[in-house]
Amino acid sequence: MIGFIVHAKKDQVGVAVKDISAGENIEGWCMEDDSALSVISNKEIPLGHKVAITSIGKGEPVIKYGMPIGNATSDIRIGDHVHTHNLKTARW
């Protein structure tokens, strides 16, 4: 069962399409090229929230929809929940 969707190949995060449990092996699907990927979640991730599919260093841009959506406020590991606690929008 698909647990998250990635919009573009260069995205660093996917969007949870279901509630994800900590330690769950989640399958993902990339819309751009119809590829499959998987990660193990480090924490619970609610439906609609982001899951990291690559490591992202503190201060680095976070890529979604093929473009930066903000910057990491702390180091983010593969499988981490990505939200306001570790991502700040670049707009303000």
Please give the pLDDT value at position 21. 98
> Hey, CA dihedral for 47, 55, 38, 31, is it positive or negative?
positive
Q: 55, 31 in Cβ contact below 8 A? A: no
What tens digit of pLDDT does each residue of 30-51 get?
A: 999 999 999 999 999 999 999 9
* CATH code matching the domain that covers 2-89, chosen among 2.30.130.110, 3.40.50.720, 3.40.1080.20, 3.10.450.50: 2.30.130.110
Q: Which two tokens stand for residue 17?
A: 């399409």
What tens digit of pLDDT does each residue of 59-83 get?
A: 999 999 999 999 999 999 999 999 9
Please give the pLDDT value at position 90. 78
